[in-house]
Structure 1
Amino acid sequence: MTLEKEMLKPDRPDWHDVEGLTDTEAAARLRIDGYNEIPGARRRTLTVIVRDVMTEPMFILLLAAAAIYFLLGDNAEASILLSFVIVVIGSTVYQEHRTERVLEALRDMTSPRALVVRGGGQQRIPGREVVRGDMLVLVEGDRVPADAVILAQRNLQVDESLLTGESVPVGKRHWLDGDLRLQPGGEDQPYVYSGTLVVQGTAIAEVNATGPKSTIGTIGKSLQGIETEKTPLQLQTGKMVRLLAALGLLLCALLIVVYGLTRGDWLDGLLAGITLAMATLPEEFPVVLTVFLALGAWRISRRRVLTRRVPAIETLGSATVLCVDKTGTLTQNSMNVHTIVTGEALFRVPDVTDTAPLPETFHELLEFGILASEADPFDPMEKAMHALAQRYLSGTEHLHDDWELVYEYPLSAEMHAISHVWRSTHGDEYVVASKGAPESIADLCHLDAASSAQLAQQVEALSSQGLRVLGVADARYSGKEWPSIQHDFAFRLLGLIALADPLRPAVPSAIARCHAAGIRVVMMTGDYPGTAHTIAREAGLRADTLMTGSEIDGCDEAELAARIRTINIFARVVPEHKLKIVNALKADGEVVAMTGDGVNDAPALKASHIGIAMGGRGTDVAREAASLVLLDDDFTSIVEAIRLGRRIYDNLRKAMAYILAIHVPIAGMALLPVFFGWPLIFFPVHIAFLQFIIDPACSVVFEAEREETDAMLRPPRPLDEPLFGVWNLGLSLLQGTGVLIWAIALYGIVLSRGATAEDARALAFTALVIANITLIFANRSWKRTLFASLHIPNRAVWWITGGALLFLALALFEPQLRQLFRFGEADIAGLLLAVVAGIASVAWFELFKLLRGIRFS
């Protein structure tokens, strides 16, 4: 495919004139060159996961215990422990591999996308699938997916700071014969480079290097050493693990010394110490955290919200303010022209079934509205105007496909209007078409006071219906140099075009849910104040007061922070205003979630606690600045993500509380018999058995648990609230202590009545397993009672319960397993007593729920 393309006009890219590669050609090149990826951080393959598991402390302790049994000549128990080692490796590898696959899928889903032309049509594909020879369509806000040569461009400016360190964007031109391959940086080059950012203009470029062969690929190896920063929850959990591990090691050392001194058997003492180490080792904490956050991101993705940064999941439940755009988020982003006005004449656009023609009076207004728009529009408003023009002006002299666009004045913070300068096919003058905010068009037309007042009255009447209103003007120009600003043209006001963008039907109920959850919703829009107020009222926003962008400009930080506490609607705002709003809310102590889609939204998205980029209409730079990406641009998806964020955090807290609670009786029953002079209750085989209940319970049962009934009826949790607060820590320790007291008391009483150690051990272990299962059911909800939770579906809890009871029965009644576990022959009356003791040890927690006024359903 040659670089010369006569049909492409260098000043006006048009992808319609490009065929691009066929899908077959692209697939062949992908096989040859590989994926368009640079060397990055090491991904955990199955081999890496197995290697990491084999260095885990629990694995090493099991091997040490097996080695001691071999030294003692107990080959049967050693062999059983080695088989447990295999099962532990298998279950851990399965869980971690499952988590890694979820993370891999999320990485693929959140990776940048590329717009290419293949087979004559546009396709949006993953950036990693771009190949040599692909035709890229680049627009403002895109991240360039590969090194490419520019075939045609218009006003193209690219930020190459990622490669050069220079923050000032550089201008680009199209390729000419004789151009050499250059390095990034410098003006007027015909190349774009992978990883750089289009900040202005459009272009068509042919890919000439991908992956490791691209410019950024040559430095990609430096990314391999970059470690991901730990989240606040990971830091908290790491601190808890270190504390418990240190306490466990201290108790193990103490146990070995006491056992060796009092009983004179240091090898058995070492075995008892290993058992206690296995009982106290808090290995589940980091595993559970990883599983919950990974699967949480996956669950949120099923609600059409992608997680780009894991800490966002932790923060979702703390959001107190949700700042959202109106267009496309609260509304459907499916605009249609509702009314057009020129002078005193008004035309309400009828249903498409009405075949009556458009009155001649309005032809010129619609004609120049089209001339001020893109020929191949992306913006929904421009699409709506094109559709209306095709309906009424098709085949007339008012559509000018043969005119040439020669200059463009883009929208700016100072002037909310766009002007296109056209060279017509007749006459020597240039034709200028402008559209934009009515007040900006009025300013361009230099209207007198009376005309401005009349225009404002018309705009107010239209915007009060929730319509978005644009002004349209035209001018003629015969100069030799383009004016530096649009004001220098002699514009004439043609009229107004009002567009309807209906509210999404589910928005009012979603906003009501936010209010019930203590979340304030703030709407930010570039629309006219009347339009913003009407839409806000329909959506159910608290819309007593409104603030405009010009008022924000007139406030200092203190004044804005004071006013912003009572204002939920911001109209006529630009991205710079959004940043001020976010910073003011943060300064007032709010936890801010914010939506955005444009290049200039990136600073505000980054400044907010939870940046939410629009996946449908958003730019790459907005998505990269955000923590979450909203695939369907729908407000209700944000509310669902907040609900799931609260659920994930609640369930994580329950799982952590359960882990801490169950380790208390296990550690206590491994330690206390040594100090009381009793026979040991636990040996490594018992701890390994209990791990088969604990591990899946904390990482599967609680992760799959539904949210509490009041999840969206309570205020957001404080952002700095610890996972293990005094209340949660105390409750967990009380649960564990209750189980320990009942189980150890049962063991001591049975021994005191003359029973053998084997009989007492069987009853104490049975009581502990039953208490463990009861703890799982009790902690499924801290709001509902255990019996109410039975009606809530959770298949995992029944599988684990059934499996635990089955294996307990085998250990109690199967002779060889009974010998392995050092159990006496089962006594039905004794076992019933153990079951009662296990259930009773947790029953107080159910009474506690009832005393706090919790309902049964």
Structure 2
Amino acid sequence: MNAPDASPRALESLSNAEAARRLSADGPNELPGQGPRSLAGIVREVLTEPMFLLLIAAASIYVILGDVREATILAASIVVVVGITVLQERRTEQALSKLRDLSSPRALVIRDGVEQRIAGRDVVVGDLVLLREGDRVPADAVMLDATALSVDESILTGESLPVEKLPSDTDEHGHVYSGSLVVQGYGSARVVATGARTEIGKIGGVLKTLEAETTALFGEVHRLVRWIATAALILCAAIAVIYSLSRHDWLAGVLAGITVAMSVLPEEFPLVLTVFLAMGAWRISRVGVLTRRLPALESIGAATILAVDKTGTLTENRMRVVAIETRTDRIEMQAGASITDAPQQVLGIALAASERAPFDPMEKAIHTAAQSFASPAVEQLRGMDLIREYDLTPELLAVTHVWKAAKEDRAYVAVKGAPETVMELCHLASSERAELMKRVSANAERGLRILGVAQGMTSSDTLPESPRGFELQFLGFVCLADPLRGDVPATLAECKQAGIRVVMITGDHPGTALAIATQAGFDVGAGVLTGAEVETLDDETLRRRARDVNIYARSKPEHKLRLVQAFKADGNEVVMTGDGVNDAPALKAAHVGVAMGGRGTDVAREAASLVLVDDDFKSLVAAVRLGRRIYTNIRHAMSYIVSVHIPIAGMGLLPVLLGWPLLLFPVHVLFLEFVIDPACAFVFEADPESEDVMKRPPRPREEPLFSYDMLKRSIGLGTCVMIWTVCIYGAALQWLDDSSARALVFVSLVFANVALIFVSRSRSGSVRAIARRHNNIFWIMAALACVALALVIYIPAIAAVFRFTPPQWQMIMAVALATVVLVLVTGRWLRVSPPAPATHDAARS
């Protein structure tokens, strides 16, 4: 085995320029599979939407009727609408394609002599790849260096047992294959094949893409769309028959039926979900959270419990050795200080029990401290070979390394780990162990992380299968500090105000966990529940205990899974963070699994719905806030869609039933759609969150999007507008000609549309409160709608297409003003009562 300084960095690595050249020549490291939709495919899907089929049918009828001008206008409108829709679909597809890239493994490579974390698709032949426990192998490679490295190749071979890997290029043990999983150890390898040229590519392996998931929200909207679309087709046929029988004009009857169907079809519903979630993924990425599964954006806003790790999430993950304790003394580690032989020995043995190329912050801290305070031990270690590693396991929370000098028969044993485990390996008397544990508890109460250190000596020819077989001497403790993030107390208070309960689940000592929790502002009145205690509780008892306990210490991955299940069984919406291979079951079990981007493994990221780029608790809470905003804005947009379609459909239907001249033709509905679609896609999506978004209780998971209160308000608004426009049309027909009456009512419909957008942006806020919410897109859209309305009324050529004759401008202004006042007053009258302030009890219920 190489000496400790034989780092992969010493091996030749590609330059960034050469890697870019090879990527361009060989193509991305991707397996054959389903890529993003092509432009032609998107156009084909758009043209088969019911709305566009109805427009094409209407244009065809105008051709049959000999009205070429009307047919041409509709055809041109179809081209514009298709262009806008295709552009939006294309942008959404590009966003989803970027999210899909997150499903591929992330690779740690060395280029220009520097470690870089890159997307798996950017790996090229010749890259020097570093492999660590939990990583997916990004490409086929030959091992250059390996330490206790085992790989799960079941994705390729079907064999469930891990395969040990060794530095060799002559047999299977010296090769690793794309898609396989590192389950133990670490090493480095040189890439020899990428993409379709890998072994999994040759046998037709397909790259996993983002799975299409159906949530309650998606299911509810899709069912509603199907129901309304069916009703629209039935209504279309009924209107066509009624009109034709009463007025003896079949083509005009079909045209009237198509107009009504166009006004009823809710094509905006799926548009809202697609655009809002795609844009939500972009917005949430700006606060350091990547979205791997879009439905998670819907769920995270309803979170009632955030189950988070301590290290790196609540703390800065910048470990520092602050003290060394021998069996008799304590030495504070201060810059420039010199320490005696005994604490140097403790630090040196801790270094020998650490990885040679440290990745864990705790081991990095030990390396740094050893370089500063125990340089003789560092030099001594450089002249020795690591001949055996015993890794930390759930059953034995300690790492053991066996070292041997070149000309010595004896081997040296170095152990570090949980203090109670190391004391057990040293077979200390119970009285001595109790005294030492008092010191552990005292350090833990100060928020320090404590590692026990022991050493031994043995013959290198008779190494036992377990560290329990060594004769070990207990040396002392290494005390490490990881400061709390400065913004955690304020963020935790924000969660409490929002009715969200935060629980800490950590592998640390109970005292350490309790000290950090107290500093952060957790409610620690119910004490700490350890992993060992969790194992003794049945599911019902654990569920009851989990209602009150917020701090969980010495927790293993299986304990996390049981805790998630207990929280869910108590009716909570659970968001769970994790970083290790064994955290994957808990991440999948949670409603929203959140993987650590900085220290997390690929397996954890694949199991998670969201990825925290910087592992920061504040970013996670910001994602919850954005999730609430996204859901609220979706609900506001859906409320507007329901409201606005009622008067449009009513004014397409009632004139037929009342024997009046037709008010709306396809071109009118198309104009209104040019107002409705941008409002749905941009105005509501851009609406900022209200000031009380994190003061409300989480919404119940079972709460439907189209709740009774929401439908009552939406239908009430739409019905009032419809009655108002019917009255205007009836009165106008008594005083004006058909085309002037039609223009006057159309003015009312457009201004009602804009006013509905305004009042639908809040369920309960006053007009003044809504106006104060900064949304430039609304005012731009409203101005454009007014300008377009003026053009279609006052420019003769356009007015002729719309069958308009301009009424007096005083009449237009009066109707517009009265319509806006009516909608604002009705919206205020039909307001929804604001939710009660958030409490944990309210959230749980």
Normalised by the size of structure 1, how large is the TM-score? 0.94
Q: Is the counterpart of residue 382 in structure 1 residue 389 in structure 2? A: no
Q: Is the counterpart of residue 232 in structure 1 residue 213 in structure 2? A: no
Q: Is the counterpart of residue 575 in structure 1 residue 568 in structure 2? A: no
What pairs up with 1:181-196 in 2 under 5 angstroms? 189-196=173-180
Post-superposition offset of 1:145:
0.6
Classify the secondary structure of the residue corresponding to 2:302.
coil
Residue of 499, 505, 508 corresponding to 2:489: 508
Q: Which amino acid aligns with 2:444?
A: S
Classify the secondary structure of the residue corresponding to 1:327.
coil
Residue of 146, 153, 160 corresponding to 1:153: 146
Q: Is the counterpart of residue 173 in structure 1 residue 166 in structure 2? A: yes
Q: Is the counterpart of residue 455 in structure 1 residue 436 in structure 2? A: yes
Q: Is the counterpart of residue 244 in structure 1 residue 228 in structure 2? A: yes
Structure 1 CA distance for aligned equivalents of residues 547 and 706 of structure 2? 32
Residue of 334, 338, 348 corresponding to 2:322: 338
Alignment-derived partner of residue 720 in structure 1: 702
Classify the secondary structure of the residue corresponding to 1:590.
coil
Structure 2 CA distance for aligned equivalents of residues 799 and 210 of structure 1? 50
Q: Which amino acid aligns with 2:299?
A: T
Residue of 631, 649, 664 corresponding to 2:613: 631
Structure 2 CA distance for aligned equivalents of residues 676 and 164 of structure 1? 73
CA contact (8 A) 1:784 1:854 kept: no
Q: Is the counterpart of residue 444 in structure 1 residue 444 in structure 2? A: no
Compared with structure 1, are the counterparts of its residues 620 and 349 closer, same or farther at alpha carbon in structure 2 (3 Å cutoff)?
same
Post-superposition offset of 1:422:
0.5
Residue of 51, 55, 59 corresponding to 2:48: 55
Compared with structure 1, are the counterparts of its residues 747 and 102 closer, same or farther at alpha carbon in structure 2 (3 Å cutoff)?
same
Q: Which amino acid aligns with 1:56?
A: E
Classify the secondary structure of the residue corresponding to 2:359.
coil
Q: Could you tell which deviates more after superposition, 325-334 or 25-34?
A: 25-34
CA contact (8 A) 1:669 1:682 kept: yes
What pairs up with 1:656-671 in 2 under 5 angstroms? 656-671=638-653
Q: Is the counterpart of residue 114 in structure 1 residue 91 in structure 2? A: no
Alignment-derived partner of residue 683 in structure 2: 701
Structure 2 CA distance for aligned equivalents of residues 709 and 164 of structure 1? 55
CA contact (8 A) 2:3 2:382 kept: no
What pairs up with 1:649-798 in 2 under 5 angstroms? 649-751=631-733, 753-798=734-779
Structure 2 CA distance for aligned equivalents of residues 226 and 573 of structure 1? 31
Structure 2 CA distance for aligned equivalents of residues 150 and 724 of structure 1? 57
Post-superposition offset of 1:575:
1.3
Residue of 792, 798, 801 corresponding to 1:811: 792
Alignment-derived partner of residue 369 in structure 1: 350
Post-superposition offset of 1:580:
1.4
Post-superposition offset of 1:840:
3.5
Q: Could you tell which deviates more after superposition, 105-114 or 686-695?
A: 105-114
CA contact (8 A) 2:595 2:610 kept: yes
Classify the secondary structure of the residue corresponding to 1:40.
coil
Compared with structure 1, are the counterparts of its residues 851 and 429 closer, same or farther at alpha carbon in structure 2 (3 Å cutoff)?
closer
Q: Could you tell which deviates more after superposition, 613-622 or 437-446?
A: 437-446
Alignment-derived partner of residue 8 in structure 2: 15
Task: Provide structure 1 residue ranges, at least 5 long, that are not aligned to the other structure.
Answer: 1-7, 180-187
Structure 1 CA distance for aligned equivalents of residues 592 and 797 of structure 2? 57
Task: Provide structure 2 residue ranges, at least 5 long, that are not aligned to the other structure.
Answer: 837-845
Residue deviations 1:163-201 (CA, integer Å, cap 9, x gap): 233333222233244x4xxxxxxxx63221111111111
Residue of 289, 297, 316 corresponding to 2:281: 297
CA contact (8 A) 2:9 2:113 kept: yes
Alignment-derived partner of residue 543 in structure 2: 561
Structure 1 CA distance for aligned equivalents of residues 514 and 834 of structure 2? 42
CA contact (8 A) 2:130 2:189 kept: yes
Post-superposition offset of 1:854:
11
Alignment-derived partner of residue 213 in structure 1: 197
Structure 2 CA distance for aligned equivalents of residues 702 and 220 of structure 1? 44
Compared with structure 1, are the counterparts of its residues 44 and 10 closer, same or farther at alpha carbon in structure 2 (3 Å cutoff)?
farther
Alignment-derived partner of residue 839 in structure 1: 820
Alignment-derived partner of residue 123 in structure 2: 130
Q: Which amino acid aligns with 1:233?
A: L
Compared with structure 1, are the counterparts of its residues 851 and 642 closer, same or farther at alpha carbon in structure 2 (3 Å cutoff)?
closer
Alignment-derived partner of residue 141 in structure 1: 134
Q: Is the counterpart of residue 162 in structure 1 residue 146 in structure 2? A: no
What pairs up with 1:245-324 in 2 under 5 angstroms? 245-324=229-308
Compared with structure 1, are the counterparts of its residues 850 and 146 closer, same or farther at alpha carbon in structure 2 (3 Å cutoff)?
closer
Structure 2 CA distance for aligned equivalents of residues 47 and 321 of structure 1? 44
Structure 1 CA distance for aligned equivalents of residues 208 and 103 of structure 2? 19
Residue deviations 1:372-409 (CA, integer Å, cap 9, x gap): 11122111111111111111223577642111111111
Q: Could you tell which deviates more after superposition, 737-746 or 168-177?
A: 168-177
CA contact (8 A) 1:653 1:723 kept: yes
Post-superposition offset of 1:320:
1.2
CA contact (8 A) 1:156 1:200 kept: yes
Q: Could you tell which deviates more after superposition, 800-809 or 200-209?
A: 200-209
Post-superposition offset of 1:28:
2.5
Post-superposition offset of 1:227:
7.1
Q: Could you tell which deviates more after superposition, 50-59 or 136-145?
A: 50-59
Structure 2 CA distance for aligned equivalents of residues 75 and 478 of structure 1? 99
CA contact (8 A) 2:104 2:207 kept: no
Count, aligned residues: 835
Q: Which amino acid aligns with 2:396?
A: M
Q: Could you tell which deviates more after superposition, 385-394 or 108-117?
A: 108-117
Residue deviations 1:448-483 (CA, integer Å, cap 9, x gap): 122112211111111111111111111111262211
Classify the secondary structure of the residue corresponding to 1:411.
coil
Structure 1 CA distance for aligned equivalents of residues 24 and 58 of structure 2? 50
Alignment-derived partner of residue 571 in structure 2: 589
Residue deviations 1:773-799 (CA, integer Å, cap 9, x gap): 000011112232232222222121111
Residue deviations 1:644-663 (CA, integer Å, cap 9, x gap): 11110110011111111101
Post-superposition offset of 1:426:
5.8
Structure 2 CA distance for aligned equivalents of residues 291 and 812 of structure 1? 32
> What is the RMSD of the two structures over their aligned residues, measured on CA atoms?
2.1
Compared with structure 1, are the counterparts of its residues 189 and 481 closer, same or farther at alpha carbon in structure 2 (3 Å cutoff)?
same
Structure 1 CA distance for aligned equivalents of residues 128 and 223 of structure 2? 51
Compared with structure 1, are the counterparts of its residues 223 and 599 closer, same or farther at alpha carbon in structure 2 (3 Å cutoff)?
closer
Post-superposition offset of 1:10:
11
Q: Could you tell which deviates more after superposition, 638-647 or 706-715?
A: 706-715
Alignment-derived partner of residue 182 in structure 1: none
CA contact (8 A) 2:384 2:406 kept: yes
CA contact (8 A) 2:143 2:169 kept: no
Q: Is the counterpart of residue 609 in structure 1 residue 602 in structure 2? A: no
Q: Which amino acid aligns with 1:669?
A: M
Structure 2 CA distance for aligned equivalents of residues 222 and 765 of structure 1? 54
Q: Which amino acid aligns with 1:88?
A: V
Classify the secondary structure of the residue corresponding to 1:233.
helix
Structure 2 CA distance for aligned equivalents of residues 432 and 141 of structure 1? 27
Post-superposition offset of 1:735:
1.3
Classify the secondary structure of the residue corresponding to 2:735.
coil
CA contact (8 A) 1:136 1:204 kept: yes
Residue deviations 1:624-670 (CA, integer Å, cap 9, x gap): 01111000000011100011111101100111111111011100000
Q: In percent, how many aligned pairs have the same letter? A: 51
Structure 1 CA distance for aligned equivalents of residues 479 and 282 of structure 2? 41
CA contact (8 A) 1:113 1:126 kept: yes
Alignment-derived partner of residue 202 in structure 1: 186
Residue of 524, 527, 538 corresponding to 1:543: 524
Classify the secondary structure of the residue corresponding to 2:229.
helix
CA contact (8 A) 2:593 2:610 kept: yes
Residue of 16, 19, 26 corresponding to 1:26: 19
CA contact (8 A) 1:112 1:620 kept: yes
CA contact (8 A) 1:367 1:389 kept: yes
Classify the secondary structure of the residue corresponding to 2:313.
helix
Alignment-derived partner of residue 480 in structure 1: 461
